[in-house]
């Protein structure tokens, strides 16, 4: 199966799981695989309808679903986080990222679930 075929399947599965669990219309409007010049890679899932409250209440399950999604894409992300729209309770995207050493050092300096107002960390594997 190609990467894009797998992205299509994984997007649909994750959207269904989130809708069933949260009981409201969650839209995963785009799922992208990415590779950055620094060496980071992973997947970004742009969301509509997902709120910070949902993350706080269902974090354990959402992290599990995201881990399943990562596995289906053949990636093992050391960093799983949500990007928030600052000043709102809206989540803009969910991110599965395999950190390069440089970015690892950057994020390792921060602490807590929200080292920046636009980031909510679900998982950060310390080396
Ligand atoms: Zn990087």
Mean pLDDT for the stretch of residues 22-32: 97
> Measured in angstroms, how far is the CA atom of residue 116 from the centroid of ligand 1?
17
- Torsion angle in degrees (nearest 10) through CA of 105, 120, 79, 57: 150
Average pLDDT over residues 105-114: 89
Of 124, 117, 116, 127, the residue nearest 96 (C-alpha): 124
Output the 3-class SS for 3-57. Answer: HHHHHHHHHHHHHHHHHHHHCCCCEEEEEEEEECCCCCEEEEEEEECCEHHHHHH
**How many Å lie between the centroid of ligand 1 and the Cα of residue 40?**
4
Q: Which structural domains are found in the chain, ordered by start? A: 3-124 (3.30.980)
Is pLDDT of 59 > 90? yes
Say how many Å lie between the CA of residue 66 and the centre of ligand 1: 20
Å from CA of 21 to ligand 1 middle: 33
What is the Å distance from ligand 1's center to 106 Cα? 9
From 16-25, 58-67, 92-101, 103-112, the region with the lowest mean pLDDT: 103-112
Q: Note the pTM of the prediction, 2 decimals.
A: 0.94
Q: How far is the CA of 26 from the centre of ligand 1 (A)?
A: 29
Q: What is the pLDDT of residue 91?
A: 97
Average pLDDT over residues 25-40: 98
């Amino acid at each position: 199966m190609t990467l894009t075929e797998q992205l299509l399947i994984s997007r649909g599965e994750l959207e269904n799981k989130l809708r069933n669990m949260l009981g409201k219309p969650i839209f995963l409007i785009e799922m992208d695989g990415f590779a950055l010049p620094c060496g980071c890679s992973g997947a970004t899932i742009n969301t509509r309808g997902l709120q910070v409250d949902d993350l706080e209440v269902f974090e354990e399950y959402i992290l599990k679903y995201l881990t399943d999604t990562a596995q289906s894409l053949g990636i093992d992300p050391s960093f799983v986080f949500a990007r928030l729209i600052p000043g709102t309770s809206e989540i803009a995207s969910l991110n599965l990222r395999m950190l390069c050493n440089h970015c690892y050092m950057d994020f390792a300096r921060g602490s807590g679930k929200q080292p920046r107002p636009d980031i909510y960390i679900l998982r950060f594997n310390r080396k």
